[in-house]
Amino acid sequence: MEICLAEHAGFCKGVENALKITLQETGSGKKTITLGPLVHNDHVTRFLREKGVDAADNPDELENCTVIIRTHGVAPDILERLFQRDDLEVIDATCPFVKRVQMLARNYEQKGYDILIYGDRQHPEVQALFGWSRRKASVIEPDETGPAINNLSLSSRALFISQTTQQEAGFLKTAGELKKICPELKVMNTICKATALRQDAAAKLASGVDLMLVVGDVKSSNTCKLTKVCREITKTHQVAGAQDVSREWLVGIKKVGVTAGASTPSWTTKEVMVMLEDGNLETGTEETFSAEEGREYRPGDIITGKVVLVEDEQVLFDIGYKSEAVLPRNEVFLEGEVTLKEKYFEGEEIDLLVLKIEPQDEKIIVSKKRLDRERRWKELEEAVESGLTMKGIVKEVVSAGIIIDLSCGIEGFMPGSLVDVRYIPDFQQFLGQEFSFNVIELNRDRDKVIVSRKQMLEKEIAEQKKETVENLKVGEIITGTVKRLTDFGAFVDVGGIDGLVHISEVSWQRVGHPQDVLKVSEQVDVKVLEVIPERERISLSIRQAQPDPWFTAGKQFGAGDIIKGKVTRIVNFGAFVELIPGVEGLVHISQMADFHVKHPSEIIQEGEEIEAKILDINMENKRISLSIKKARPAPRDYSSHSPQGESENQNVTLGDVFGDLFNNGQTDNADKDQQ
Ligand code: SF4
């Protein structure tokens, strides 16, 4: 029997998205409740319940929880009421396509149009849509006939829209009828593309098979529509899951088609496919077998057996039936040289998949391998939906990336660009290593799994950043690593996030460029000056993490001391002299010499070592006044020797007064002073 899956089947984007949003909320610590079942599918409802997500039908039942609005949406008054409640966190997962239809209903109603909705009156999507039309819309059910339409009393302008999951043919036919009674009818085909694609694919498949199985819940509108489409073409059964498939349906069937509604999870469809594949072995010839307590076994069943005998080539299990279930060696994943005897021990209980039943000797053949593989696929599918991190071993390096062993014979491909957040030239170093990663794409029919370590690393980095920012305290001193040097400062990694040390905060000393005092990768102590969590901005200071040299200066120097220092900078009004690293004093131009100095560069040069006298230390303002001229021996006081002959001693000559100066080679300056 050939088994074919429709090209478009199962979860649509809207449902996928709503499920993802809901699962994300389960980790928030607050009770999560969906307003109505998230989708019309019992498997999904059960799955969510296991994850702690319940459904409530009435908004008044909600209390202190996160409430998820499902894909169908709700009327605006309900939404508003929920948003007004302080104890509720409202997450609107209404499908964007449904939202668009709601907006059309609201906008056109406001413009004075009559609103006509093609859909099931009782369906929550239609009820919400009715609310968006301010409860003025008329609903036309798909099987309502001409007279029902003729009874509508319409104004001259009307908008005709559809529930997103209706059949297009019926909608367009009804639009034609409506046009006859409403000349200004605006028809907007709001049937979702996902619905149309699934219906087209189902119809196409149905036309080439002997039997169609439509997987999905009877409460699901779109699944029921798929069944209707297929039934018009071939023999069709709608099943909620593998358990509903009757083997009698398959007798004489050569080709069976499978499709699934937009609310049907892939694992349910897969179970049906596996069941069909396994049943394929004996289709139409085998019986089911009853255990002594009355249980029936069928291919595809999952049973629990207790190991009773381990042989080289098979393991026998007690399953409560008159003969043991047989697990052949080739139906077990055995790693390396491991044998069956090393893997299983007597009395151990394990789950097994019933593979086939041999009627002649009533032997039940089971498989562990297929069950493990099936479960692993389910885990991977869930990981795509929930974003859970998975683990696997790097098995092979290929030109475009890395092959990861996902166990149970499944391999994942990690493209080179998704291996790390940084560029890595050679992946050979990773061979044999265990990697954590996210599953980002999965196509089970093609055995294709795409995984990303980069996504996980990015998430880890983001979390680490958040944690670092939250824990940083202004004023504390921490150790960081210099990551980058720029003209305006240095970026220092303080735990997954870079903070900026502005150039003025790099050192107590005057710094021309951060690279003059820092090196990339160097470890430095930094003081946290400012943290702005929402902008992830951190300001740091290396300078302030070190002792203030002014304290040392305050102890080491006093007014009147003669110091030696280096001229660091010359300005028009004087020169700065470094006494010790980080402490500079100013020699004012008037303190450079005993004579008039036009510019400090006439006396000293940058980089020169000089002697100066400390005139004053102002610790409060961190200022030191220096004098070069007072550090030199005091010149003789000639004030009493008047060259103009006004002194008491009229007999003193010019030679007597200036003789020393001439001898010291200061004739020019002395002349200038005279002038
Ligand atoms: S069927 Fe279409 S409209 Fe409905 S939830 Fe899915 S994507 Fe959205």
Residues 617-654 have pLDDT tens digits of 998 888 999 999 999 876 555 444 444 443 334 443 44
pTM for the full predicted model:
0.44
Distances (CA, A) of 569 to 510, 587, 604, 632: 10, 11, 10, 22
| 160 pLDDT higher than 60 | yes
Return the amino acid letter for 173. K
Q: How far apart are CA 59 and CA 82, in angstroms?
A: 7
* pLDDT score recorded for residue 59: 86
| 655 pLDDT higher than 60 | no
* pLDDT score recorded for residue 446: 72
Q: Are strands 401-405 and 389-398 parallel, antiparallel or unpaired?
A: antiparallel
The arithmetic mean of pLDDT across residues 459-466, rounded, is: 87
The protein residue with its alpha carbon nearest to ligand 1, atom 7, reads 14
CB-count exposure of residue 12 (10 Å: 0-12, 13-18, 19+) = buried
pLDDT for 210-234, tens place per residue?
Answer: 999 999 988 888 899 899 999 999 9
- The tokens describing 290, both together, are 């009853």
* pLDDT score recorded for residue 635: 56
| 144 pLDDT higher than 80 | no
Q: How far apart are CA 158 and CA 249, in angstroms?
A: 47
Q: How far apart are CA 221 and CA 37, in angstroms?
A: 14
Q: What's the whole-number average pLDDT of the chain?
A: 85
pLDDT for 204-214, tens place per residue?
Answer: 999 999 999 99
* Degrees, nearest 5: CA angle 147-149-155: 135
Helix axes 124-132, 76-84, angle to 10 degrees: 90
The arithmetic mean of pLDDT across residues 503-513, rounded, is: 90
How many DSSP H helices and E strands does the chain contain? 17, 34
Task: Evaluate: CB of 13 within 6 angstroms of ligand 1.
Answer: yes
* pLDDT score recorded for residue 378: 87
Q: How far apart are CA 408 and CA 414, in angstroms?
A: 18
* pLDDT score recorded for residue 496: 84
| 661 pLDDT higher than 60 | no
Task: Evaluate: CB of 166 within 6 angstroms of ligand 1.
Answer: no
* pLDDT score recorded for residue 642: 43
Does 125 qualify as catalytic in the annotation? Answer: yes
Task: Evaluate: CB of 162 within 6 angstroms of ligand 1.
Answer: no
Least confident of 199-203, 328-332, 442-446: 442-446
pLDDT for 87-117, tens place per residue?
Answer: 899 999 999 999 999 999 999 999 999 999 9
Task: Give the ranges where 531-653 is alpha helix by DSSP (H).
Answer: 549-556
Look at 57 and 360; give whichever has higher pLDDT.
57
The protein residue with its alpha carbon nearest to ligand 1, atom 5, reads 14
Least confident of 28-42, 85-99, 273-287, 316-330: 273-287
* pLDDT score recorded for residue 238: 92
- What atom of ligand 1 comes closest to residue 95's alpha carbon? 8
Task: Evaluate: CB of 195 within 6 angstroms of ligand 1.
Answer: yes
Torsion of CA 296, 298, 300, 303, to 10 degrees: 30
- What atom of ligand 1 comes closest to residue 192's alpha carbon? 2
* pLDDT score recorded for residue 181: 84
Band of residue 145 on the pLDDT scale cut at 50, 70, 90? low
Q: How far apart are CA 243 and CA 123, in angstroms?
A: 27
- Note the Cα 124 to chain centre separation in Å: 32
Q: How far apart are CA 284 and CA 251, in angstroms?
A: 5
Q: How far apart are CA 98 and CA 15, in angstroms?
A: 12
Pocket mutation for ligand 1, best pick of 99, 189, 195, 220 (most atoms within 8 Å of C-beta): 195
Q: How far apart are CA 229 and CA 234, in angstroms?
A: 9
Q: How far apart are CA 412 and CA 390, in angstroms?
A: 11
* pLDDT score recorded for residue 391: 92
Dihedral sign for Cα atoms in the order 290, 294, 298, 304: negative
Task: Evaluate: CB of 93 within 6 angstroms of ligand 1.
Answer: no
Q: How far apart are CA 505 and CA 279, in angstroms?
A: 75
| 663 pLDDT higher than 60 | no
As a whole-number percent, the residues of the chain with pLDDT over 70 amount to 90
Q: Which of 7, 16, 80, 125 is catalytic?
A: 125
Cβ(53)–Cβ(34) under 8 Å? Answer: yes
The arithmetic mean of pLDDT across residues 25-50, rounded, is: 86
Ligand 1 centre to CA of 483 (Å) is 48
pLDDT for 548-573, tens place per residue?
Answer: 899 888 889 999 999 999 999 999 99
Q: What are phi and psi of 655, to 5 degrees?
A: -60, -40
Task: Evaluate: CB of 99 within 6 angstroms of ligand 1.
Answer: no
The arithmetic mean of pLDDT across residues 398-427, rounded, is: 90
Q: How far apart are CA 90 and CA 63, in angstroms?
A: 12
